[in-house]
Amino acid sequence: MEGFFDGASRGNPGKAGAGALIINDDGKVVWETSRFLGEKTNNEAEYIALILLLKAAKERGVTSIRIFGDSKLVVSQVSRQWKINLPHLRLLAQQVWALADGINISYHWIPRDQNKRADALSNEGIDGAK
């Protein structure tokens, strides 16, 4: 299984959206979401997109998943490579770690152009709220 997530914010903070999807081993999308998040920073939107992805994986009984995102900050923080200095982001990371419990997860940073579907979903989340 593979998961992709992205968050977007128009303004920082500004109107924000989250997008995420899960692809099975046959390359088929088995779940995706596009959500409007209200006023959030870009980093908050990225974290919330990852949380939505992990909740969906847990609901589907996923035991092992490779997760890809184009936020170097979020990927590096949740994989414990970087410190988390902002308390509100630390709380979001703690939610990620709690949801990840019991799932074999590897986190990978990818360039934005390799994360097109999640990016489109995050922008749909913002556009759908107009």
Per-block average pLDDT, block size 10, for the chain (130 residues)? 98 96 97 97 98 97 97 98 96 98 97 97 88
Distance CA 69, CA 128 (A): 22
Could you tell me the pTM of the whole model?
Answer: 0.97
Q: Is 84 strand, coil or helix?
A: coil
For the domain with range 2-127, which CATH number is right: 3.40.50.620, 3.40.50.720, 1.20.200.10, 3.30.420.10? Answer: 3.30.420.10
pLDDT at 130: 54
Domain extents in the chain? 2-127
pLDDT at 128: 86
pLDDT in tens, 82-109: 999 999 999 999 999 999 999 999 999 9
